[in-house]
């Protein structure tokens, strides 16, 4: 029955130009995302055997720290700039202005972020011990700036970067098997990942400048500050979840050590894969819904249905997945995966009614307030939960807080919809 509904929706979309654009971009994003699944799946069993649970934990800790700086550098532009370019994509001068302001703003934020990281690693002993790993992982920040996937998303032209992303992932995967031979080599994993991302970023920048003729304009102080100001609410909405999400991994690293973080990371990996699939649907629809907000109900049915199915399937297959891809020292991650799988439905509610409704309709402040309050609740909860239940407490914290956020956003969006219909 569900498959029949999805097929009917697909047929409706394919009958018009917008539908074909959605189908095309969904297809290319799916290819890129499937590659993002397949290549890590090839390396997980090998890395689990070579670097072990402690190596996994150290990489997870560094990633959790750098996520904060990635969020600062993104500053919400991945949504606001995507929306603005999608609405002005036939005006090359305006597109060049938007792209340039975002590029310079992100570069400034990346510089500030690195200075903060450097200071923190110099004065906090545990961070000092992992300073080189943190610096190597931080390379993902400038790589993300170069890889302006938000621009291709706005133009609904994802095919132009899919092939280069596939090539970089293939090279990155080959390097893991060739160069990582013993436990101390774990630092090469984020290094290869960063270098691959930088390669794709340089190619995407080349396409933007030479294919679409977008000009990189000199930085204008006032315009860059205005761009930052206009995206601040989305930025707050993006960074506040780190207070319960990535902070849980950071706190677990301090209290539980690398092994606890490794167990959390192993259990989270497959939930994150399913989450990325849901994010694909959100990314494909965002520029379309920016132009055709009347189609939101169709998107909501697709996104929520897929999230429910994914959550149920993951809970059921969790024992088989962990035992297939990991060594026995990771088997405690089974319950982590089952807990995290439940959060997929709530993440879908957040993307359906938050990103793809409230942001599009200009309710960024309301969304920001919900996210702040809910994330602070999660931040408070993570201390007793992680202290009492270790890595399971971290998984419970993330899932519980996502439930509070997702349900709150849905109820608020529904209230907005009712008020609009009442007018």
Give yes or no for residue 24 having a pLDDT over 70. no
| CA 38 – CA 231 distance, rounded (Å) | 34
Q: Which helix (H) or strand (E) holds 281?
A: helix 246-291
Position 245 pLDDT exceeds 80: no
pLDDT at position 13: 46
Predicted local distance difference test score (pLDDT) of residue 3: 45
R_g over Cα of the chain? 21
| Torsion, CA 241, CA 264, CA 200, CA 202, rounded to 10 | 60
Token match 């960063």: residue? 194
**Binning pLDDT at 50, 70 and 90, where does residue 366 land?**
confident
Whether the per-residue pLDDT at 43 is higher than 80: the answer is yes
pLDDT digits (tens, 9 = 90+) for 322-346: 998 888 888 999 999 999 999 999 9
Binned at pLDDT 50, 70 and 90, residue 89 comes out as confident
Structure tokens at 303: 């996104």
pLDDT exceeds 90 at position 364: no
Identify the pLDDT of residue 37.
66
Could you give the CA distance from residue 325 to residue 104 in angstroms, rounded to a whole number? Answer: 42
Of the pLDDT bands very low, low, confident and very high (cuts 50, 70, 90), residue 308 is: very high
Contacts for 73 with CB less than 8 Å, ≥ 6 apart: 106, 109, 110, 113, 141, 144, 145
pLDDT band for position 5 (50/70/90)?
very low
Q: What is the pLDDT of residue 163?
A: 76
| Structural domain range at position 12 | 2-422
Which of 106-120, 176-190, 347-361 has the highest average model confidence (pLDDT)? Answer: 106-120
Q: What does the alpha-carbon distance between residue 139 and residue 234 come to, in Å, rounded to a whole number? A: 24
Domain count, the chain: 1
Q: How far apart are CA 35 and CA 162, in angstroms?
A: 10
CA 263 to chain centre: 21
pTM for the predicted model, two decimal places: 0.73
More confident site: 106 or 286:
106
Q: Which residue has the tokens 């920001």?
A: 368
Q: What is the H or E stretch that residue 405 is in? A: helix 364-422
């Amino acid at each position: 029955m569900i498959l029949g509904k999805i097929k009917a929706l697909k047929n409706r979309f394919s009958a018009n130009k917008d539908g074909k654009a959605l189908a095309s971009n969904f297809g290319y994003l799916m290819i890129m995302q499937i590659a993002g699944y397949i290549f890590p799946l090839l390396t997980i069993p090998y890395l689990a055997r070579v670097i072990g649970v402690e190596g996994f934990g150290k990489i997870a800790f560094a990633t959790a720290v750098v996520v904060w700086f990635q969020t600062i550098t993104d500053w919400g532009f991945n949504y606001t700039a995507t929306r603005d370019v999608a609405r002005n994509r036939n005006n090359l001068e305006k597109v060049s202005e938007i792209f340039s302001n975002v590029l310079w703003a992100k570069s400034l934020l990346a510089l500030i972020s690195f200075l903060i990281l450097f200071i923190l690693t110099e004065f906090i002993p545990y961070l000092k011990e992992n300073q080189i790993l943190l610096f190597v992982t931080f390379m993902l920040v400038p790589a993300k700036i170069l890889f302006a996937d938000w621009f291709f998303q706005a133009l609904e032209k994802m095919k132009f970067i899919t092939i280069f992303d596939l090539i970089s992932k293939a090279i990155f995967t080959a390097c893991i098997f060739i160069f990582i031979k013993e436990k101390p080599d774990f630092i090469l994993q984020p290094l290869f990942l960063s270098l691959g991302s930088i390669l794709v970023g340089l190619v995407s920048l080349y396409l933007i400048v030479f294919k679409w003729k977008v000009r990189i304009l000199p930085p204008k102080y006032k315009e860059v500050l205005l761009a930052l100001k206009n995206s601040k609410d989305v930025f707050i909405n993006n960074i506040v979840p780190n207070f319960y999400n990535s902070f849980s991994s950071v706190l677990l690293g301090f209290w539980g050590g690398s092994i606890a973080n490794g167990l959390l990371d192993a259990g989270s990996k497959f939930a994150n894969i399913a989450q990325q699939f849901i994010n694909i649907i959100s990314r494909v629809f965002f520029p379309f819904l920016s132009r055709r907000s009347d189609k939101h109900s169709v998107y909501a049915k697709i996104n929520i249905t897929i999230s429910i199915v994914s959550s149920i399937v993951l809970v059921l297959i969790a024992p088989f997945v962990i035992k297939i891809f990991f060594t026995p020292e990771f088997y405690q991650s089974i319950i982590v995966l089952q807990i995290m799988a439940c959060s997929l439905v709530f993440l879908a509610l957040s993307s359906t009614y938050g990103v793809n409704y409230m942001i599009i309709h200009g309710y960024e402040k309301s969304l920001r307030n919900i996210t702040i309050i809910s994330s602070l609740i999660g931040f408070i909860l993570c201390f007793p939960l992680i202290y009492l239940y270790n890595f399971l407490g971290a998984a419970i914290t993330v899932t519980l807080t996502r439930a509070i956020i997702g349900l709150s956003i849905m109820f608020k969006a529904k209230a907005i919809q009712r008020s609009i219909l009442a007018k």
